[in-house]
Structure formats: structure tokens, C-alpha cells
A and B are shown apart, each in its own frame.
Chain A
């Protein structure tokens, strides 16, 4: 059979459509536009892909159905990674929680668990996981502000806090997530150490470590450890899981973070897939079996308000991943070809103005995610542009998912937008642009070379400015922000953190530090340093040992920093002048 016969539409049909379309454009459309001109000059998606008034079979005439779209659960997985998708098993509800002391977060997780939520995500306070001083150090208040504790995530500095955090949550029955990119090894170490303490074999654990340390360097000036070290630390977590925790999703490529930092749809998937390719390539060099570890890679995508573009992005991403793993890396294990992803509605689309509007935004984005075949979903809370979610707003975001799942019928059919001339056109257009991005990064010598050249930062800066400029000039309307503003009449109650939780956390930390075995602590930290110095292998075992010895995040971070220093694209040259 030749290629032509496989195409969706016959030559005759297309010729006829072309002819009729031409007539329609010159006739009815042109006449109509004289009377009723279009609202604006030219329509584009958020990433700049032109949108015509209608799309027809002509726009997707190059598609070979079997090659490009196919069937769900089959290569290239454009329609989804499982044959029956939500008809058999709805997407996983995974709500991210993290606020106040471990007890407060624990209460919220237990409540979720009681309601049947079995996938959870924890957000650890950034001033803990990324810090080099502990909250009981007087320096902490000066550097970060003690009252910041518990506002961006739960307060947990050591294993004792994790024991309380997961009290009553059976780690072998729920899937937990650690949503840290950089520093992932340390928090995952806490979870594994806790499982060991509870007598749960690691091979029974099921969960996620974001662990995508490359994302830090993609969008901003985040001062992490040098990229080469970040890569080996991440890979050693992958290596450890491939040996001991086979059900653990040990690398969750965080396109979401890249998008939130500013990248547009095709940049988000292009850059993230290029970084994933770097992880595969370096993972193989690190000595991990690609057939074993690539299937453990999953993805974390965002969904902004550009409904169709975002759906097309996700369909394109699935196809690209299948091609990358099977064709470029020649991986034989079909599990590796499937891009399983966790979708998060976009935090940066939430507005502080008229915050209740965000309920609608989140519902629309979540619907889009479901139409695109997300395997897990987090719906944001409407007050997140103002503070961490309250109990009320967190509950509402969970209900949003339940309404979509049970009331709309969206879960009853697989990939319902396939075959839409527009959606397939956009899927192709985004894929083409994203591959150009992947190739550009490969030509630069891979992700680390691109980081060191400042490529990602420039791209992110330009892309988010482009989007912001659309808002500024009114081309992109945000209700309540640049149109339809009004005096704020309704004010939601805000989460303010808890002084009591801070006091308790400090007391507990001081007690832990007093009672722990000091020799064990310094031996464990020393061992971690040694592993980091010698190329990273074994650093995961060393990290777990540190956690078991009740070392804090800050202590582990300091230990690693002493070996490899900190890498930042900005500022250091100014300070050293």
C-alpha cells in the first residue's frame, strides 16, 4: 500500500473541498465580513500559532491515522496511554496539600483519605527544604522570617516531623508525592526512611518524586547546586528506585514549573522533553538500565486558559515521547513509550482580583485536562493567588473534579476531540515547533550546555513578557484584571499560617537535636559528602541514612553544598565586585 491511500481523505474529496472552500472564502465569508468585520486583526493561540476562521480536512491532509493518531494504549499513544482510559479507571485525584505544622497537613490528608483520595501530594515549606539554616537558628528569622513558616508548605525539618505528617496514612496503601525538583533526594529520603521505620518494604511503595532538577535552571535564576551535580543526585535517586522501589515514579518531568515560569505551550513540552532526553542519555552513562528506568519517568504538565492549544499540547507531547523513546533511544519496553502525566491547573492563571472567578477557571482547565487524557489531576484552589488554600477552598477544588467525573459524561469516551480538524491541526503545529526546540537544545550540546549558555532563561523571559504584553495591551483579556474590574465586594478568608504550629515545630526540633545520636549524625553527613564527592552513586542510601539519624534538611543541604558549591546565573558577579 502506498502512503497516499492511507491518508484520511481521498484525493478527489480533498480537491473538491479545496474548490468549495475557495468559493466560500470569496463568496459568503467575504460578503459577511464586509457587513460584520472580525473583532480583531488576526487570531493566534497564546503561543502565537495562527488560527483561521475554520479548519477543514485540508489542514490535516498529511495525517496518517494509524501512524499519527492510532488507538489508545497503542503507539504513538496520541489518544491516551490506556486502551479504555476513564471508562475503566477514572483519572487519579491528587490534591497537593501543605500548610502549617505537620499535624495540620496530616489532618487534611486524613480527611482526604477518609473521602477516598488515595493519591496525595505534600508541599514542604520552601524556607525549609531549600535552606541552609534550621528554623531554630537565630539567623533563620533574619534571612527568611520565622512567620513565613507553614505559609508555603508544611513545617517538617526532620524524620520526627514526617512521622507526625503521615500518622494514620498507610504508606503502602496511598501514593504520596514529593513535589520538589532540586532537593528531591532529601525529601524522598525522609519518606523512604519513614516506610522503613514502619516496617513497610520499599518495593510496596508507590508514589512520586518530582526529582526533575533540570527545571530549576530552565526558567529562572534559582541558585541550586551546579547542574552536573544536580543531575547525578537526581540520577542516583532514579538508580536507587530502579533497584529497590520499582513502583515509585522517581522522575516526574515538571513541564508545569517551566510553563509557570513563563514558557509557552510548545516551549514547555519541547524543553521538558529535551531535558528528559538528557536524563535518559546521562542515566545510561550513569549505568542504569534504560529498559528499566525509562518506564519510571512520568510527566507533570500545566493547563492554562488557552483551551484547545493546551489540549493539543498534551496530545502532541504523548506522541513525541513515544517517538523519542522508541525511535531515538531504541528502547524496547513498551511501558517506556507511554507518557503518563499528572496535570495541574495553572496557578499563574489565578487572579487575586475577584478571586471567586478562579473557581470557574479551574473547572475549565480541569475539563481540558480530562479531555486531553490526564492520568492524574490536581485542581487548584480559588484563593491561591492570595494565600495557601483554606479548608473550604481545598474542598471546593476536590468537588470540582468529582463533578467533572460524575456529572458531565467526559469520562465516558476516550479522546473525544481526536479528528477535530482544528485540534489535529494544532496538535501537529505544536509538535512541529516543539521538535524544533528539542533539536535546538540537542545541537547546543544538551540541556546542561544550554543552561550554561543562558538559553533557557532568555527564552523564558521573552515568552512570559510576550504573554504579559498581550495582557497589557488588552489583546488577552483577564476578567477582573484588565476588563470588567469592579470594587471588591467579597473577600475570602485567608490562610495566615499558625503561630502555634511554629512554636511547636521549634520545640520539637530542639528536642530532636538534643536527643539524637550525635556521632551517628555526623557520620551520616560525612558519608553523604563522600558519596557526592565521588560522583553521586550511593548518595541516595547515604541520604536515607541521614534521615534515619534525624538529620535536618538544612544539615543535609549544607553538607552537599560544602562539596559542590552553589550555581547561580545571576548576581554573584555583582556581589564579588
Chain B
């Protein structure tokens, strides 16, 4: 099926061990309200689990919420595994408490988009819709 004919599919997860889920919860709800299919992989996931589930479920975008300071390693590992395991068409976005300079560094390394605290939900919805339709 061609992309334009089916619902956009996003996988939302948290890696690492932190318990701050509100961001992921709200983004999940907003994407669903916008007619996007969201697969919730939950919290405390490993990079392998995220990549495995994303490829298996044929998602368009992965959204990771990181609040534990481990964002550099987590995003790099997920991006690396995506390349390794044939998921390079899957976009990688994320959010959380990530200092600006580190956000810039991750984006240079190939993370597609990062949203800081206070980002309007519609901005995230727009990003998901625009980047998948392209």
C-alpha cells in the first residue's frame, strides 16, 4: 500500500529508566486526535526493542522521549540500529530535557527532529504529517 493511502504510523517509546511520561502521553493523545496511528511501546525500552518493533510494525516515525540525561547515547544507538537493520527510511524524532547544543549535535548526526519543552502539540503534529507526506 502506498503511504498516502494509509494512516501515518508513529511509535512512541521511552528508553532508559526515568519515569517522566507526561510528554509521551500528551504527544500520543495529540497524534491520535489528528488521525495518526500511534503504537505505544511504553517505558524502559531498549534501543533494540524500539528498532525491532518499529521495523516489524512498519512505522513511519519513531518518537523517543528522554528525560534522564542519556539522550546522546540513546538517540545514537537507535539511529545506528535503524541503519544496521534496514530501517533507514524510518524517521527519528524526539523530545525531553536536552540542552540546545546537544540537540544540534544530535541533529547533525542524523536525528530528524527534536522538540524541547513547551513545544506546541500542533507543531509536532504538523511535523509528523509534513515529513511523512513528502
Interface residues of A (CB under 8 A from B): 126-127, 129-131, 141-152, 216, 219-223, 257, 260-262, 348, 351-353, 385-387, 460-462, 464-465, 468, 472, 478, 481-482, 494, 496-497, 568-572, 574-575, 577
Contact A223 B71 (CB under 8 A): no
B25 CB-CB contact with A under 8 Å: yes
- Report the Cα distance A186→B41, complex, angstroms: 27
Q: For the complex, give the distance between the alpha carbons of A384 and B29 in Å.
A: 25
Within 8 A of A (CB), among B93-110: 97, 99
CB-based contact A472/B120 at 8 Å:
yes
Q: Is the pair A145, B29 in contact by a Cβ cutoff of 8 Å?
A: no
**Cα–Cα, bound, A482→B46 (Å):** 35
Interface status of B42 (Cβ within 8 A of chain A): yes
Residues of A within 8 A of B15 (CB): 143-144
B53 near A152 (CB under 8 angstroms)?
no
Tell me if B71 and A145 are in contact (CB < 8 A): yes
Write out the residue numbers on chain B whose beta carbons fall within 8 Å of the beta carbon of A461.
25, 28-29
**B47: interface (CB < 8 Å):** yes
Total A-B residue pairs with C-beta atoms closer than 8 Å?
Answer: 154
Given contacts A385-B117, A386-B99, contact A144 B17 (CB under 8 A): yes
Q: Which residues of A contact B68 (CB under 8 A)?
A: 126-127, 144, 148, 151-152
- Given A143-B46, A148-B16, A223-B42, A482:B25 Cβ within 8 A: no
Is the CB–CB distance between A142 and B73 below 8 Å? yes
Question: Would you list which residues of chain B between 27 and 45 have a CB under 8 Å from chain A?
Answer: 28-30, 33, 39-45
Further contacts, 5 of them, CB under 8 A, given A222-B44, A571-B49: A126-B18, A220-B25, A468-B121, A481-B118, A568-B44
The reply to whether A574 and B57 contact each other, CB–CB distance below 8 Å, is yes
Are A352 and B42 touching (Cβ within 8 A)? no
Contacts of B43 in A (CB 8 A): 220-223, 568, 570
Within the complex, the shortest CB–CB distance from A382 to chain B, in Å, comes to 13
**Which B residue's beta carbon lies closest to that of A491?**
B100
B118 to chain A: which residues have CB within 8 Å? 351-353, 385, 478, 481
Q: Which residues on B sit within 8 Å (CB–CB) of A216?
A: 19
- The residue on B at minimum CB distance from A388 is B69
The answer to whether B97 touches A574 (Cβ under 8 A) is no
Q: Is B58 among interface residues, defined by CB-CB distance under 8 A?
A: no
- Contact, CB under 8 Å: A221 / B16: no
Instruction: Please judge, given known A-B contacts A148-B69, A260-B22, A261-B21, whether A352 and B77 are in contact too, CB under 8 Å.
Output: no
Closest A-B pairs by Cβ, 8 of them: A145-B73, A151-B69, A148-B70, A145-B70, A570-B42, A220-B21, A571-B42, A130-B17
B49 in contact with A460 (CB, 8 Å): no
> Complex: how many Å from CA A385 to CA B97?
7
Q: How far is the CA of A348 from the CA of B45 in the complex (A)?
A: 23
Residue of A nearest to B74 (CB): A145
